[in-house]
Amino acid sequence: MTRAVGWGLVGCGDIARRRIAPALRDLENCELVAVSRADAARAEEFAKEFGAKRWHADWRELLEDPEVEAVYVATPVHLHAEQAIAAAAAGKHVLCEKPMALTAAECGRMNAAAEANGVRLGVAYYRRFYPAVERVRAILESGEIGVPVVAQMNAFERFDPAPDNPRRWLLSRRRSGGGPMFDFGCHRIEVLVNLLGDVTAVKALTGNALFEREVEDTACALLQFGQGAQGVISVTHAAREPQDTLEIFGSEGSVLCEVLNEGRLRVRTKNGERFESHPPHANLHLPLIEEFARSVVEGRTPRVDGRAGQKVSEILEQIYAG
């Protein structure tokens, strides 16, 4: 890298504090220039904590900053489209939190705005950069487990936030778009599309097994991939036991990751069984942000671009349509 990209961070919530701002502060190819948060005092506090030069209560003011070359949109989902489109119109590159937007149509408008203004648009599906996922891709491409037949992913997280919890907005359909399938099922959709190719058919069930709320607490989706494999994604906010699995069964073997965020693989073939370890970076967002900054400097499409994000949102729409 010959220079650092100047960043503006829109939204200073939980994920921004734990992962995004630390990455923007620590990466050599990034500089955190400005942050925005509706509460001006908290915006100032956040900026000083992470070394940003400026802070704003109105995110629109951040877009006027000439030192801001790229914007990370880390707000609730219902704000993504408006903010990303405005940033693109201001000539800023945009890296947007997942899921990309409330609807595929909004994703389309975001992509159109980026293309019209000649800026890069990426979506924060950071599991694309997991060494374990890249290793699974290499195993599939090698033919070691034969033709992929069935893929399964479980994502279970007990989530029942109190009324004053800052993540309570995830239970509002208007703001979040949906429950666990929308929030973190989208990550699993992206992983399987990345590994197995385009989806040609979707069947799904969404419902409430435990909690009375306006978004589902449990959902299962069955995906048909164009090359023949089928995938099952199961997500829930209601189970006590956490799950974060990836399993792919092929005609000649299988690969299993019991905890994707840890990266330990078990590979079984006719030649026996072996175990591999491919842990992710301690800051899960950092490789994603680093690669996006490189794409800005190099003038190329980021690895997880707006079209990839829109593809996931199109599948989500099919899931919620039943």
User: 84-120: per-residue pLDDT in tens?
Assistant: 999 999 999 999 999 999 999 999 999 999 999 999 9
Are 239 and 297 in a shared domain?
A: no
Residue spans of beta strands (DSSP E) within the chain: 5-10, 30-36, 54-56, 70-73, 93-96, 121-123, 148-156, 199-207, 218-225, 230-236, 243-244, 246-250, 253-257, 264-269, 272-277
Where do we find the tokens 């705005």? 113
Are 135 and 226 in a shared domain?
A: yes
Are 117 and 183 in a shared domain?
A: no
Q: Total domain count for the chain?
A: 2
- pLDDT tens digits, the chain, 322 residues: what are they? 468 999 999 999 999 999 999 999 999 999 999 999 999 999 999 999 999 999 999 999 999 999 999 999 999 999 999 999 999 999 999 999 999 999 999 999 999 999 999 999 999 999 999 999 999 999 999 999 999 999 999 999 999 999 999 999 999 999 999 999 999 999 999 999 999 999 999 999 999 999 999 999 999 999 999 999 999 999 999 999 999 999 999 999 999 999 999 999 999 999 999 999 999 999 999 999 999 999 999 999 999 999 999 999 999 999 999 7
Residue 56: inside a domain: yes
Are 135 and 265 in a shared domain?
A: yes
Are 147 and 80 in a shared domain?
A: no
pLDDT digits (tens, 9 = 90+) for 237-247: 999 999 999 99
In which element (H, E) is residue 20 found?
A: none
Provide DSSP, 167-195.
Answer: TGGGG-HHHHSSSHIIIIIHHHHHHHHHH
State the virtual CA torsion across 95, 101, 103, 106 in degrees, nearest 10: -60
Burial 135-149 (b: 16+ CB within 10 A, else e): bbeebbeeebbeebe
Residue 318: inside a domain: no
For 321, counting Cβ atoms within 10 Å of its Cβ (0-12 exposed, 13-18 middle, 19+ buried), the class is exposed
Residue 81: inside a domain: yes
CA 181, CA 110: separation in Å to the nearest integer?
A: 22
User: What CATH number corresponds to the domain at position 273?
Assistant: 3.30.360.10
Count the helices and strands in the chain (H runs, E runs): 12, 15
Are 61 and 39 in a shared domain?
A: yes
The residue range of the domain holding 170 is: 131-279
Are 171 and 237 in a shared domain?
A: yes
Are 288 and 273 in a shared domain?
A: no
User: What CATH number corresponds to the domain at position 300?
Assistant: 3.40.50.720
Beta strands 272-277; 70-73: pairing state: unpaired
CA 250, CA 255: separation in Å to the nearest integer?
A: 8
Residue 309: inside a domain: no
CA 63, CA 41: separation in Å to the nearest integer?
A: 19
Are 79 and 155 in a shared domain?
A: no
Residue 310: inside a domain: no
